[in-house]
Chain A
Amino acid sequence: MVLHPDSSTSADTGQASGRFDVEAMREQFPILTVRPYGKPLAYLDSAATSQKPQAVIDAMSPFFSRDNANVHRGVHYLSERATEAYEGARVKAQGFLNASEVEEIVFTSGTTGAINLVAETYGAAHLGEGDEVLITEMEHHSNIVPWQMLCERTGAQLRVAPISDTGELLVDELKALIGERTKLVAITHVSNVLGTVNPIREVTEIAHAAGARVLVDGAQAAPHLPIDVQALGCDFYALSGHKMYGPTGIGVLYGRRELLEEMPPYQGGGDMILSVSFEKTVYNNAPYKFEAGTPNLVGVVGLGVAIDFLTGLDREALAAHEHDLLAYGTEALLLVPGLRLVGTAPAKQSILSFVLDGVHPHDIGTILDREGVAIRTGHHCAQPLLSRLGLSATARASLACYSTRAEIDALVAGLETVQEAFG
């Protein structure tokens, strides 16, 4: 497990510097007071989607009551306000990722949207027969299937870098798989099943030395780790708003300026053009040429507030809190008879996947649910990874800034109920 200290200063979010007040944090998340079946809620499914702080909830409705108009196309007062809000969020996303230029930030529908965008534009332009895309065994379906589809269209090959049984990327093997034909390496920053934090900087250096570009799936990293795309050295970085305390339906693709500029556009439509005639259309510049049509305005506004929320936290204290919970949860689960943790890499973040002797994860999930404990069960959209591990499903508890030791205790108590039922 690693701590990721951050130099950013903490704004006033009710969090005293250095100490993490989880109760004050929980008060910002109204949904946490819901009582499923009359039991206190232990929401341990934040890796599927995080809950939303009041600030994010409160930002979306006023946008409709005060600022709503279409962006980039009206000359009137409201359109200007809406455009300001929209472009303001782009600047926030730039800061969040430490991109060097604001034009490097493309709004998408989410991580899936961002990866498909790169596959269909950069991929289609740069990959051909005999070229290779390298992924890893621990990828989410959304960082596998778009590349398979691309390979089908272009005749390129998909290669897969292996992991160890504990869920660590085998960097030497990855290195051996990168060659002249490798055009792109697509890798997750944090695994949604194992919690493994991958050594992105190292991978980027290896890939760049061989002339390959690197796309990082940041869906699970964004809510936990400070992200600096310049320090990571990656060429593309994808994230989802809904996993980092923001709304659904919105995400970000970071792309290096020079790559975005030379990439063909994605979808055709309004906003992505400079001029259109029936004979010829001149495309707009990045990022607009990738944002055809009226965008998810209120989603972008909500994402901006979620970024404010995250960057306003004392990131060092947050990292310490999440690290403490992961250590506490690991220890508590290991004491459950017949339980095996899936994913025990030394560099790990906020995910506790496990299997229990003689009980299928779905049955665990149903019984825990009636105890108020929400976890995810199944293949977590990573079927090839589960096959690699010789499993078809796991139970997964995942942690967030509002998670507590008491919730982990509820999980462990719930597992006792499971074992009684299956005694």
Chain B
Amino acid sequence: MSNDLGDLYQQVIIDHGRHPQNFHRLGDATRTVEGVNPLCGDLLTVYVKLLDDRIDDIAFEGAGCAISMASASLMTTALKGKRCEEALALFGFVHAMLTETPSDELPSAELGKLAVLSGVSAFPMRVKCATLAWHALRSALEGKNELVSSE
């Protein structure tokens, strides 16, 4: 397997893809948003329970490739307890990491475990897989209950 592929399919990603965290319905969610990738038909549902301005709980359900499942799984673990503002800022960092050539400017401390997704940037066709859950999250935080697309 080539280096690029090794970077993309790190063991952490394969593990999260196979055994995603927070992978369930959230009965007391205050916001529920479905994200669809029209290219492949992958569909994720993101549940968020907001308490004041804080993500008290977050979970997701759905089916997708290893990248989209791992990204969603890592997202939920990273965001539990975060304030909405912080969550959106983190999406900004993740998006930059996925779409820009590697640089030192990304705050690796904040990205934490999400940094394993950096290999996606070498695969432009797969960026949408990695951002699907995040687009749904943003929509949820903006107060929408709807279907969003990764387009």
- Name A's B-contacting residues (CB within 8 A): 37, 358-363, 366-367, 370, 377-379, 383, 386, 392-393, 417, 420-422
Contacts and interface: CB of A to CB of B under 8 A. Distances in A.
A417 B1 CA distance: 7
Interface string B53-90: 00000000001111101000000000000000000000
B18 interface: yes
B67 A370 contact: no
A379 B41 contact: yes
B115 interface: no
B41 A392 contact: yes
Contacts of A367: 1, 5, 9
Contact of B2 (A363, A370, A383): A370
17 contacts: A360-B64, A360-B65, A360-B66, A362-B40, A363-B67, A366-B5, A366-B126, A367-B1, A367-B9, A377-B40, A378-B39, A378-B41, A379-B41, A392-B40, A420-B1, A421-B1, A422-B66
Nearest to A422: B14
A421 B5 contact: yes
A386 B41 CA distance: 10
A294 B150 CA distance: 36
Contacts, number: 58
The interface residues of chain A, by DSSP majority, are classed as helix
Interface of B: 1-2, 4-5, 8-9, 14, 17-18, 39-43, 63-67, 69, 123, 125-126, 129
A362 B67 contact: yes
Contacts of A370: 1-2, 4-5
B63 A363 contact: no
A359 B64 CA distance: 10
Contacts of B5: 366-367, 370, 421
A410 to B, nearest CB: 15
Contacts of B129: 362
Contact of B123 (A37, A360, A366, A379): A366
A393 B14 contact: no
Q: Which 3 A-B pairs have the closest CB atoms?
A: A360-B65, A362-B65, A378-B40
Contacts of B125: 366
A421 B41 contact: no
Nearest to B63: A392
Contacts of B67: 362-363
Contact of B9 (A363, A378, A393): A363
A363 to B, nearest CB: 5
A358 B9 CA distance: 14
Contacts of A358: 18
A56 B77 CA distance: 54
Contact of B126 (A37, A362, A378, A393): A362
A370 B1 CA distance: 8
Contacts of B63: 360, 392
Contacts of B126: 362, 366
Contacts of A383: 41
